[in-house]
């Protein structure tokens, strides 16, 4: 190698459930990375380097140009170009066309319209949690029955039901979509598992399209409107629906569970949540930054950045969790402080591919986290924090289960 150092594989071991991998944090803002398929690329960890790359049209998200930084068989297969409609893996101008079509369905106005629906799903999830504890109820007071898994009962269903509602997918398809999304998120999934997961989601969207009413029906949901006004082929519509179902709930679910987890271990911060949920959620997004290994770009031409040249064809994986702990950008970055301004964090990315669902995600997080702690003021972990299983090697970081309990524990 030109710099005389040996490129290392990506470090994935986290010292605590909330802090990014130590090895990654020790790296320079831009350093060489050995990818599992033998590609010699880069990893960026510095805030300003990452922001510059995300804003630079000389970097591409085209799937066939990207290398995957973590994983087995799936990481060593050369990817094919994105099918029509898979816009996260397209550059301008194709990408721009789809984003324009979708932006009105995810803007602040649409999210306000969705608020009553979000509130209803939150209330249902909280009722379900209370029912889950019913065995431990005595005289109407919860007394500490079996622990409830906050992931299955709260963090997963709320965002999944909301995105299903937005797309007009029947609520009973939620479990199937959740299961398929989990396969896509696992960077160690085998290629045939990925194909099955994609088929499962596209099958749901095809069924939906077959039932769409004819005519210009902007009130009948996102896909109906896109079908009527976007001039899109069936394949494009199916793939658009697939992208939205696949990206539209897991990150929010992960943030909900991990956000609740960190607040359960930090009562002082939790006590401050209700005073300014908007600010608190921004800080939780910065501090936890769950999109850990899948924000990637490949240079289309040689690009000099931070004194180094990323050659055409080389992939850079952008570590948002480390960038959002960059002390040059955020003072005292390892302290969770829900009263600080975390504005400018990169948890939703930056530039033209910045998260399409960010307004929705923010509102879901604010409403759900405040409602959770209002309903169960004495909510607590039912296991030691070290026993909560984390997803260290997945694209979207999070926890698989979060056993919680509440109520008075009676002595025998
Ligand atoms: C893109 C994070 C929720 C849909 C992104 C990106 C990030 C991100 C970092 C940029 C990826 C890149 O530049 O390569 C998050 C987080 C969420 C969240 C942290 C929750 C807390 C959602 C929701 C939706 C969504 C609710 C709903 C549909 C998308 C889509 C893209 C995207 C479609 C691709 C945009 C494009 O390429 O133009 N998200 N997201 N996300 N997100 Fe989210």
| pLDDT digit string, tens, across residues 46-75 | 999 999 999 999 999 999 999 999 988 888
pLDDT > 70? residue 410: no
**Would you say residue 4 has pLDDT above 50?**
no
- All residues at 6 or more sequence positions from 155 whose CB lies less than 8 Å from its CB, including other chains: 253, 254, 256, 257, 260, 402
The per-residue DSSP string of 228-245 comes to: HHS---HHHHHHHHHHHH
Mutate to test the pocket of ligand 1, among 87, 95, 251 (most ligand atoms within 8 A of CB): 251
* CA 70–ligand 1 middle distance (angstroms): 20
Tokens coding 65 = 């140009």
Say what the pTM is. 0.94
Which residue puts its alpha carbon closest to atom 41 of ligand 1?
A: 357
Q: Which of 33-42, 134-143, 222-231 has the lowest mean pLDDT?
A: 134-143
> What mean pLDDT is predicted for residues 75-94?
93
Distance 244 CA to ligand 1 centre (A): 9
Centre of ligand 1 from the C-alpha of residue 348, in Å: 6
**CB of 94 closer than 8 Å to CB of 87:** yes
Ligand 1 atom nearest 294 alpha carbon: 14
Residue having the nearest C-alpha atom to atom 20 of ligand 1: 252
Pairwise CA distance, residues 159 & 311, whole Å: 40
pLDDT on residue 142: 46
Q: Is the peptide bond before 374 cis (omega within 30 degrees of 0)?
A: no
Q: Minimal CA–CA distance to 227: which of 171, 235, 104, 91? A: 235
Ligand 1 surroundings by CB, under 6 angstroms: 61, 87-88, 99, 163, 243-244, 247-248, 251-252, 255, 290-291, 295, 347-349, 353, 355-357, 360-361
Segment 365-407, tens digit of pLDDT: 999 999 999 999 999 999 999 999 999 888 999 999 999 999 8
Q: Residue holding tokens 């952008």?
A: 318
Q: How far is the CA of 275 from the centre of ligand 1 (A)?
A: 27
């Amino acid at each position: 190698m030109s710099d005389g150092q040996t490129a290392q594989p990506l470090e994935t071991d986290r010292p605590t459930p909330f802090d990014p991998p130590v090895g990654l944090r020790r790296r320079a803002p831009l350093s060489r990375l050995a990818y599992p398929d033998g590609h010699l690329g880069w990893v960026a960890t510095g805030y300003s380097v990452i922001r510059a790359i995300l804003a630079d049209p000389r970097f591409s998200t085209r799937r066939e140009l990207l290398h995957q930084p973590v994983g087995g068989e799936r990481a060593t297969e050369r990817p094919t170009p994105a099918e029509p409609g898979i816009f996260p893996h397209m550059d301008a101008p194709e990408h721009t066309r789809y984003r324009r079509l979708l932006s009105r369905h995810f803007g602040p106005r649409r999210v306000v319209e969705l608020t009553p629906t979000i509130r209803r799903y939150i209330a249902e999830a909280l009722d379900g949690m209370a029912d889950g504890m019913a065995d431990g109820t005595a005289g109407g007071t919860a007394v500490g029955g079996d622990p409830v898994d906050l992931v299955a009962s709260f963090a997963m269903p709320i965002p999944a039901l909301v995105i299903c509602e937005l797309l007009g997918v029947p609520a009973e398809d939620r479990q199937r979509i959740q299961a398929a999304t989990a396969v896509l998120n696992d960077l160690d999934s085998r290629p045939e598992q990925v194909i099955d997961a994609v088929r499962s989601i596209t099958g749901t969207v095809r069924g939906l399209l077959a039932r769409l009413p004819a005519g210009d029906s902007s009130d009948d949901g996102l896909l109906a409107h896109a079908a009527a006004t976007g001039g899109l082929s069936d394949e494009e519509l199916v793939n658009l629906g697939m992208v939205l179902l696949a990206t539209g709930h897991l990150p929010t679910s992960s943030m909900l569970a991990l956000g609740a987890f960190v607040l359960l271990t930090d009562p002082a911060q939790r006590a401050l949540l209700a005073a300014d949920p908007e600010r608190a959620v921004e800080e939780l997004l910065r501090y936890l930054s769950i999109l850990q290994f899948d924000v990637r770009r490949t240079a289309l031409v040689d690009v000099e950045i931070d004194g180094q040249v990323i050659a055409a064809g080389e992939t850079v994986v952008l570590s948002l969790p480390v960038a959002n702990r960059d002390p040059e950008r955020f003072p005292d970055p390892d302290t969770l402080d829900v009263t600080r301004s975390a504005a400018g964090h990169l948890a939703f990315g930056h530039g033209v591919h910045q998260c399409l669902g960010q307004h929705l995600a923010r509102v879901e997080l604010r409403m759900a986290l405040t409602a959770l702690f209002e309903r169960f003021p004495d909510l607590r972990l039912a296991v030691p924090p070290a026993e909560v299983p984390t997803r260290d090697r997945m694209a979207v970081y999070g926890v698989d289960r979060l056993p919680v309990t509440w109520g008075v524990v009676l002595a025998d």
